[in-house]
Structure formats: structure tokens, C-alpha cells
Amino acid sequence: MYSTHTYGKRVSGDPHHTHCGQQGITLLVNPTCPYPVMPLPSRSPYVFSCLVSKYLIHCLYLPPSLSDQEVAALFEGPDALEQDANTILCGDFNARSQALLGDTATYTRGSWLHEFILSNGLHCWNALLAYGVPTLSSPSRLDNAQVGHTSWNSIVDLIISYSPLLEPTITTAQLMFS
């Protein structure tokens, strides 16, 4: 397995976690991948970009703490991510949307992303191939403290392309918590 990554930020303010990082992005490449993977320089700590064959892939982690304006600036305007017909966006967008994804909630970022996808003719493969299928299943800390075994699901990890893909499929892993 080949991996490459951006360096996360140090966790600050917690003396027990001085060795930990947060918000880094890692790209794992299957060793049987027949194409070279070329990492590209990034202007944002929230994006890891690379070329794989003819595809430009932007791996994203858009933390909930980013404002809607900061997220929009990544996709629109003079400093926007490079994009063409062979561009794929993937990662944790933290953009929940009932209408687009079949999620149980809608956030303002999810509404913005839905409109951005529609107005730019993009393909959100979660919506097309795995509508309503959670990409994150996590125990709720509050509910867990109160009742012991409540969890919540959301759809925040997305794959978006600027043109159709040949024979796309999506498989999500079901994680179990105890």
C-alpha cells in the first residue's frame, strides 16, 4: 500500500495530546494501481491534490469550523481549485443534505453544495449510487452518556466528478461500535 499525505495541524491547548495532529489528509493507493500517482502542491491545508493517469483528484477535509464563505472560496473565484472534465473531488465535505444525499439533516453547507453541483452540472456519485447510505456512523457522546447505546448516522464523505465515470460503484463499510 502506497500512501502520501498533508501534514495536519498540531492539537493545541491540551497538554495530554501534544503529540497528536488534526485535519491532515492521507491518500492510500492500492499497490495494484497501474498508474503513477503524482502529488501536486496545494494552496490550502484542507486539500490534497494529485494526478492519477489523466485524472486530477482533489482530496478534501472541510472541517465544520470552516465558514461557508471559506468553503465557497475553494470552488469559486480567483483562488478556486483547478477543475476540468477529468477532475474528481472526494473526501469529508461536512455538507449534509436531505435533498441531494438522502441524509437525515440539511446544513447550510449541504444546501450550498447541492446548488453548486446543480448549477455546474456535476455528478455526485453518492446521490446516484448510494442515496441515503450513511458514510459516518458514530455513537453520540451525549446520548451514550444518558442511555448507553444510541448512535447517529450522516452522509458527509462524498465523491463528485465533472464528467460521468465509466461503470462507477460505491461500497461503504459498516463499522460497529460497542
pLDDT tens column, 110-123: 999 999 999 999 99
> Which grid coordinates belong to 43?
494552496
State yes or no: pLDDT of 5 exceeds 90.
Answer: no
Instruction: Please give the domain boundaries of the chain with CATH numbers for all domains.
Output: 2-161 (3.60.10.10)
Cell 447505546 found at: 149
Alpha carbon distance 176, 178 (integer Å) = 7
Q: What is the pTM of this model?
A: 0.80
State yes or no: pLDDT of 124 exceeds 90.
Answer: yes
> Which grid coordinates belong to 85?
472534465
pLDDT tens column, 69-119: 999 999 988 878 998 999 999 999 999 999 999 998 899 999 999 999 999
Where does residue 56 fall: left (phi above 0), alpha (psi -120 to 50 degrees), or beta otherwise? beta
Task: Supply the pLDDT for residue 22.
Answer: 61
Q: What is the 3-state secondary structure (H, E, C) of 24-74?
A: CCEEEECCCCCCCEEEECCCCCCEEEEEECCEEEEEEECCCCCCHHHHHHH
The rounded percent of the chain whose pLDDT value lies above 90 is 47
pLDDT tens column, 132-145: 888 877 765 544 44
